[in-house]
Amino acid sequence: MTVYAIALIKIKDRDEYEKYSARFMEWATSPEYLEIAKHRVAGADVTTVLAEAIAG
């Protein structure tokens, strides 16, 4: 099954988002996340595309 997701993240409060971002990176390397991440890795190939809009 192929699934495409396109998302727009509009950061409303940079300070608040940075708090989330910092904690997410801590969690992403935690033993708890690594334990469940093996299922994601085994179950799916993921391609992530980030694109910056062109002002105009």
pTM beyond 0.95: no
Rounded Cα distance between 56 and 40, Å, is 38
Q: What does the pLDDT read at residue 36?
A: 92
HSE-CB at 50 with a 13 A cutoff on CA atoms is 1
Rounded Cα distance between 36 and 42, Å, is 10
Q: What does the pLDDT read at residue 40?
A: 86
Helix or strand or coil: residue 18?
Answer: helix
Place of tokens 């509009």: 10
Q: What does the pLDDT read at residue 10?
A: 87
Q: What does the pLDDT read at residue 55?
A: 75
Rounded Cα distance between 38 and 17, Å, is 27
Q: What is the mean pLDDT of each run of 10 residues along the chain (56 residues)?
A: 74 92 86 92 83 73
Q: What does the pLDDT read at residue 21?
A: 86
Q: Which structure tokens are listed for 50?
A: 């980030």
